[in-house]
Amino acid sequence: MSKFADFRIGCAVWAYKDWLGDFYPTGSRATNFLRLYGERMTCVEGNTTFYSVPTPETVQRWADNTPETFRFCPKLPRTVTHGGALMPQLSAALDFLSLMQGLGPRLGPIFAQLPPRYSPASFADFETFVVNWPHHKNPLAVEVRHLDWFKSPQADRLDALLTRFGVGRVLLDTRPIFTWSNPADDPQLRSERKKPRVPLRPTATANVVLVRYISHPELDKNRDFLAGWVERVGEWLTQGLSVYFFVHCPDEAKSPAIARYVQMQLEKAGIEVPPLPWSLLESPPQQLGLFS
């Protein structure tokens, strides 16, 4: 049995061409990006499945190009989560889950991201969906965005339901990208997919916790937030919880380096997390130089 806590860290995507020369070696082919990513990070948030459902052959290729210890956290397709009520899409959600079984041991929690318009008024629909999810087959994690989900009593009611069925509450932390005072400093100005300003509710409702950390491109504007996360992640791991930590950034080129910084801070704090494969490479890229 490994002496390390069950901790994994990664980014939202693996096919990002601007990582060439830093995260990926110069000249790497796009067909090799996933293999290279799996040699550097330990998990990935499956954003790609939100926009397009892959073929079984593609899923098998993903499995073939990553280590058995690697984990995918595929996002339910937007046709399931963003079309209104969830229950009419239950069959499609279960088909997606069956498709993802092709990842074998590499399959982590399935991630359902609900749109801002999906409010606590739909609680009955959401509860029925959760009740009918085959939790024995694969864990589910849910991210809510309507602001009423973060207010009592709706927030407590949601947490109680998630805890009852062992569903993780995806913890979205967008605080770092809203630290600017001048609108001209907004790091999302040039971002096509802006993140919402929602409260952080760092509650563990299952034995698996998913953190989505939306980092500021400047490392200094992340340090205090990340110090808090290092402490909390350490507490969760001590409690025996599994933690997936995903780093996003409006400037996606910075995401791998910020993820590596998180790993370094955990190690510096004496938290026994598995080593980052990236750091074990013979000549790992010195991407932290991006912040100098």
Write out pLDDT tens, residues 66-110.
999 999 999 999 999 999 999 999 999 999 999 999 999 999 999
State what percent of residues in the chain have pLDDT above 90: 84
User: Which CATH number does the domain housing residue 123 bear?
Assistant: 3.20.20.410
- Residue 1 pLDDT greater than 90, yes or no: no
- Please state the domain count of the chain: 1
Whether 66 is in a domain gets the answer: yes
Three-class DSSP category at 203:
coil
Whether 112 is in a domain gets the answer: yes
What is the band of 288 on the pLDDT scale with cuts at 50, 70, 90? very low
Return d(Cα 248, Cα 196) in angstroms, integer.
13
Whether 1 is in a domain gets the answer: no
pTM above 0.95, yes or no: no
What is the average pLDDT across 47-67? Answer: 97
What is the band of 183 on the pLDDT scale with cuts at 50, 70, 90? low
Return d(Cα 99, Cα 103) in angstroms, integer.
8
Q: Are 249 and 113 in contact (CB under 8 A)?
A: no
What is the band of 58 on the pLDDT scale with cuts at 50, 70, 90? very high
What is the average pLDDT across 105-132? Answer: 98
At 287 the pLDDT is 47
Token pair for residue 10?
Answer: 């990664």
Q: What is the pLDDT of residues 155-173, one digit of tens each?
A: 999 999 999 999 999 999 9
Whether 2 is in a domain gets the answer: no
Residue with tokens 């947490």: 159
Range of the domain at 228: 7-291
At 153, give phi and psi (nearest 5°): -90, 0
